[in-house]
Structure 1
């Protein structure tokens, strides 16, 4: 057996574990950007080191699959969009505080590939998921500490006023919600399927920590995505759910008590957020003009984005150049966002974001790739209800639902792309080609 090959495989496993467990935790409380730039720098360095290591070790073999064809098309249009962009530097490197240019999107694709590659090794998926849940628990505990008004990391000027707001090491409550929409589903599925009492007890507490953090994030898109995904999987696996009714009853009671307790801490801080669903609906029915302010002004952003979407339908304006495209007057900024100095740099819908910045072909290739993975995953579940398949698929679906209302960021996206790669490897192991 070749030692270099073994080292390559171990290096890849370390890289994937780092992406899932270390990158989300990185914070550098100095300078102007505590959360995003440090993450993308470390992620880029790790990626370059891994590629150099692989190039120096010839025994490493690339594994290609026709399932990657849609991803190749997507990356082709990402690169073409960046090359022909009027804003080349930003298209390749990304906008300030976002850093999701073409180079970062290529790194995401490499994360997917290496996650897929390392998952062919026995037990690697287990190690990766364990590391992800440990990291997510730390994030969850930190977010709970913030919810109670404490913070052991200095805050920048922008976040000084975020009293009792949970964002942990991810930089924003919405991003915390995006992350937890995946990890909560993974933990929940593992807990419900676990038959070992000690492990089941541990997963029960992990699930409660992640649920508590999800509630504290006050991110409605994440609440909706986890609720819809949970409902979908309850319907699909009804027989299995019935078998675990005792676990479900205990978990539901615990979640109700946690929700009540956390809501009581700040006199309805959470219930007010939940009731905002109804308030948005009432605003629309009373005054049609209010529709533009619904969903934290998302309707306004989406409506304005549709005005630009057909300007450059083939290649868009370049990856992560939304702030160069989106325009609003100072009066509009003050009316909708409370300040004439506010600017919008993301579409607050991942799919609209891709269409307007990289064009319809890139969006179609991306959706084709996702649809293929989801279809083959469900096909694999018909053959064999592998728990890793279930938890990874639920995480992917939950993320994709919340992506209708949220944005892709370097704090969360690397984990999503890694989970996609793990899911691909899981359905391959189930014999689906």
Structure 2
């Protein structure tokens, strides 16, 4: 039996990694950041008010530096000056080199270093991910160390889940006095507390400490698989009860995020685990059945509370899959300026909006037969000042005309269904332009796209983003554009595309909604290949390992839990990108998985 002092020392070595996994995702605090002129031109204003990323980055980098120091001490005193031998270092090293080169040659070098607003995944953060992975592989050797991290990680996950569920049930922790005092600076509390509102469109949806429900989905799918596999192997009554309770809270938060990427990740991971465990699931059917019944009760309660929205969300997955193969067409087929008219074409009608110069620039609207359409003021209080067509078949259209700062020009405020845009009519040019973010004016043109034609609406408009991202990757395939520079180089001037597919013309696309496209875009295809080799080699080597495993010791059991968590995140990554709120936990889990694999290889 090892002395207590030795056990304490081993835990101190891994403490910085534990703090990254358990504390960083919990951090929420206000920070006002003045933006550089270049970044501000892509943002809604000259500064950013950040709650969910900036301080996470600060603590991540601080804990990573502390981890490096403790690793150095361990390396000098304990490890005999030898790193553990694993082929995983090679793709990690290649990815590291490409991050450095991509940053050095980036045309947006400052953003590559600092990261983009609300994200801050610049070069130092990406390097920190790789650093903590290598350190975790080497520092975690004993059961006490793994248990120390798992207890801290699951405790953190349950706290985050409870915060998220408070949002789901309409009692957002961050909106009450205690929550606001924790996340707002005292000197500005009175001013900020009344204006703070994190609510997303719709109701009964949670974002926890991640701001975006999609990121909550990635996090909770990863932790759900980790906790449920640990529950499956738990033997003591106390451990079974604790893990069942933890899994239930995490499951509820996973549901409440309403993230289809998170749902996909958990489903794929569950299938992999089911294939591996196979007959063992039948052998322990009672334990499995108990947890499934608890999950069913949680689902039923939450579904009743939301009037069936959870059930509808899961049932809609089949429709989404069908649309992925068939394609989902956009409502707007054509939008252009020609011969002094704004041409607006849908499946049902073809309208032209223009101004009669001789009649003091009176707005006229023509149909496909060149007939003038009658319109009148909308009597609806909600849309006072807007005109509507007399023809009830055209009820989706609402519009009004405003004078611009230049008296020679006019602005047509236009609504079609739930789509909104502003068009500038330049009288001297006798043509229309579309107004984008920060009231910049753009011609009515679409940009180059690659793939996903007719499927731009796929996966909540991800098809549109991917189709505009792929041509840019083709232009800079080796080094990419620099870490976290996606928003800078994405064609933000494609305001027509945004209006057609996102409903709003004044919106910024700051992420690709795909982890792998994100890597390829930011740091190049060589780094993407390195990451795919790293992920693929780990997954298939461990799948082979656990398919023939008897699961008769602690390390095989937690090893499968780590594989399940890895699979959930990697699968969700096809529809979600990397973010500092979640990614550090994933890279630590990958490091833990590597450490377990090496232990099983050396001590089967």
Are 2:20 and 1:19 aligned? Answer: yes
How many angstroms apart in 2 are the aligned matches of 1:161 and 1:232? 33
How many angstroms apart in 2 are the aligned matches of 1:196 and 1:412? 31
Q: CA deviation at 1:281?
A: 5.4
In structure 1, what is the equivalent of residue 227 of structure 2? 187
Matching residue within 467, 470, 474 for 1:310? 474
Cα contact 1:74–1:365 (8 A) shared by 2: yes
Residues 338-369 of structure 1: per-residue CA shift (max 9 Å, x gap): 32221111111111111122111111111111
Q: CA deviation at 1:181?
A: 1.2
Cα contact 1:8–1:53 (8 A) shared by 2: no
In structure 1, what is the equivalent of residue 280 of structure 2? 240
Cα contact 1:346–1:353 (8 A) shared by 2: yes
After TM superposition, the score normalised by the length of structure 1 is 0.92
Residues 305-347 of structure 1: per-residue CA shift (max 9 Å, x gap): 1121210111111111111221142232223223222111111
Matching residue within 55, 63, 76 for 2:83? 63
In structure 2, what is the equivalent of residue 110 of structure 1? 131
Shift of the 13–52 alpha-carbon distance from structure 1 to 2, 3 Å rule, reads: closer
**216-225 vs 338-347, greater mean Cα deviation:** 338-347
Cα contact 1:12–1:114 (8 A) shared by 2: no
Gaps of 5+ in 2: 33-48, 176-192, 331-453
Residues 116-163 of structure 1: per-residue CA shift (max 9 Å, x gap): 222113421111111111110111111111110011214875624554
Cα contact 1:321–1:357 (8 A) shared by 2: yes
Q: CA deviation at 1:276?
A: 3.2
Aligned length: 431
Shift of the 6–86 alpha-carbon distance from structure 1 to 2, 3 Å rule, reads: farther
How many angstroms apart in 1 are the aligned matches of 2:287 and 2:156? 24
Match of 2:142, SS state, is coil
How many angstroms apart in 2 are the aligned matches of 1:375 and 1:54? 29
Q: CA deviation at 1:250?
A: 1.8
Residues 198-253 of structure 1: per-residue CA shift (max 9 Å, x gap): 21122111111111111111011111111121122112211111111111122222
Are 2:312 and 1:148 aligned? Answer: no
Cα contact 2:14–2:67 (8 A) shared by 1: no
Cα contact 2:327–2:458 (8 A) shared by 1: no
Q: CA deviation at 1:108?
A: 0.5
How many angstroms apart in 2 are the aligned matches of 1:198 and 1:15? 28
Matching residue within 352, 364, 381 for 2:517? 352
Map 1:229-308 → 2, pairs under 5 A: 229-280=269-320, 285=326, 288-289=329-330, 291-308=455-472
In structure 2, what is the equivalent of residue 42 of structure 1? 59
In structure 1, what is the equivalent of residue 121 of structure 2? 100
In structure 1, what is the equivalent of residue 432 of structure 2? none
Are 2:596 and 1:426 aligned? Answer: yes
Shift of the 55–20 alpha-carbon distance from structure 1 to 2, 3 Å rule, reads: closer
After TM superposition, the score normalised by the length of structure 2 is 0.67
Cα contact 1:137–1:210 (8 A) shared by 2: yes
Greater share of residues in strand: 2
Q: CA deviation at 1:383?
A: 5.0
Cα contact 1:180–1:210 (8 A) shared by 2: yes
Higher relative contact order by CA 8 Å / sep ≥ 6: 1 or 2? 1
Match of 1:430, SS state, is helix
Map 1:399-418 → 2, pairs under 5 A: 399-418=569-588
**353-362 vs 41-50, greater mean Cα deviation:** 41-50
Q: CA deviation at 1:6?
A: 8.9
Shift of the 286–429 alpha-carbon distance from structure 1 to 2, 3 Å rule, reads: closer
Q: CA deviation at 1:115?
A: 1.6
In structure 2, what is the equivalent of residue 339 of structure 1? 504
How many angstroms apart in 1 are the aligned matches of 2:299 and 2:593? 31
Are 2:487 and 1:323 aligned? Answer: yes
In structure 2, what is the equivalent of residue 206 of structure 1? 246
Cα contact 1:29–1:153 (8 A) shared by 2: no
Q: CA deviation at 1:260?
A: 1.6
In structure 2, what is the equivalent of residue 373 of structure 1? 538
Q: CA deviation at 1:379?
A: 4.2
**24-33 vs 378-387, greater mean Cα deviation:** 378-387
How many angstroms apart in 1 are the aligned matches of 2:595 and 2:545? 11
RMSD: 2.5
Residues 181-205 of structure 1: per-residue CA shift (max 9 Å, x gap): 1111111001111121221122111
Cα contact 2:224–2:247 (8 A) shared by 1: yes
Shift of the 5–309 alpha-carbon distance from structure 1 to 2, 3 Å rule, reads: farther
How many angstroms apart in 2 are the aligned matches of 1:69 and 1:239? 37
**262-271 vs 392-401, greater mean Cα deviation:** 262-271
